[in-house]
Amino acid sequence: MMGQPFLLSLVWKFLFEFTIDQFYEIITCRCLVWSRRLVL
């Protein structure tokens, strides 16, 4: 039973970091698109 909370926190950490990475990728893509539109 001791290993379960550790595993759960590990899964949460992975999910959280993955979501943050996806979020940043979307934001950077949006920024690139907007900057291109402003330049053109």
Distance of alpha carbon 34 from its chain centroid, rounded? Answer: 20
**Number of domains, the chain:** 1
Write down the pLDDT at residue 11.
Answer: 92
Write down the pLDDT at residue 4.
Answer: 82
> pLDDT, tens digit, for every residue of 1-40?
567 888 899 999 999 999 999 999 999 999 999 988 888 6
Write down the pLDDT at residue 21.
Answer: 92
**Domain ranges, residue 27:** 1-40
User: What are the tokens at 2?
Assistant: 């001791």
Write down the pLDDT at residue 1.
Answer: 53
In whole angstroms, how far apart are CA 30 and each of 1, 16, 24? 45, 21, 10
The length of the chain in residues reads 40
CA dist 12 and 19 (Å) reads: 10
Write down the pLDDT at residue 38.
Answer: 83
